[in-house]
Structure 1
Amino acid sequence: MTVAYWCAFVAALLPYVWSMSWRWPVYSFKANLSPRRFEETLTGWRQRAHWAHLNAFENFPPFVAAVIIAQQLGVPQSTVDRLALAFIVMRVAHGVFYLANIGVLRSLAFAGGAVCTIAIFLSAV
C-alpha cells in the first residue's frame, strides 16, 4: 500500500480519535441511550473535541476522493504521498488547536488541509 493510502486510513480514524478524547471518563452507558442529546450538553474542551470529530468526518470524503483520483490518473506517487502526509499533519494540528481553543491556528490548519486536498486534485489535471 502507498503512503497516501495509509494516510487515507489515518484520516478515517481521526474522527474517532477526537470522539474518544472527550468520551472517557465522562461518557456512560446512560449517555449512550440518547447520544445526540448528551452531546448537546457538552461544554469547554469536550464540546470542541466533539466539533473536531464532526469536522474530521466532513473533511474525509474529499481527501480520499482526491487521493484515489490522483493515483488512478498517474500522478507521481511522491507528489501524492507528500501532499497526503501534509494533509494528515494539518488535520491533526487542526484537532489539537480545536481542543486547545486556539482559533487562529485552528483556522490556518483547516486551510492548510483544504489546500492539500485541492493540490492533490489539481495535480491530476
Structure 2
Amino acid sequence: MTYTKNGRTFHCPVEAALDVIGGKWKPLILWHLCDGVKRFSELQRELPGVNAKMLTRQLRELEEDGVVQRTVYPEVPPRVEYAITGFGRTLLPVMEALCAWGTQYLGIDEAAAPRCPAKAGGEEA
C-alpha cells in the first residue's frame, strides 16, 4: 500500500516521518526551536556548520510540512522569525526519545544530559 502527502508518495508511515524530520539539520532545527521563537541568524549561530542556503531549504521544507511557522514582520530591514507549530510540538516526545537514545549510546550520565529546553522549563505553546 502507498500513501500520498504533499505530492509525495510513501510506502509506510515511518518513511513519511523520516521524510519530514530526517537528515542532519531538521532534527537539530526542531531541537533549537522547541524552547521558543528564533530568528534565522540565531538558528545559524546555534547550528555550526550549516550554511545559509541549506538552513533556508530545511526551514522551508519544515514549514511546508506544517511543523515550523515562519513569520515575516514588515520592518526595514525585514525581521523573520521561526517557531515550532502545535503540530510540530507533537514531535517533541520523538526528539526527547532520540536524545535519550543518543545519551545512552554516548554513555553520558542521564543527569548531565541535555534536555529539550521546553521540557526543562522553557516556553510552552
TM-score (norm 1): 0.24
- Flag the structure with higher strand content: 2
The structure with higher relative contact order (CA 8 Å, sep 6+) is: 1
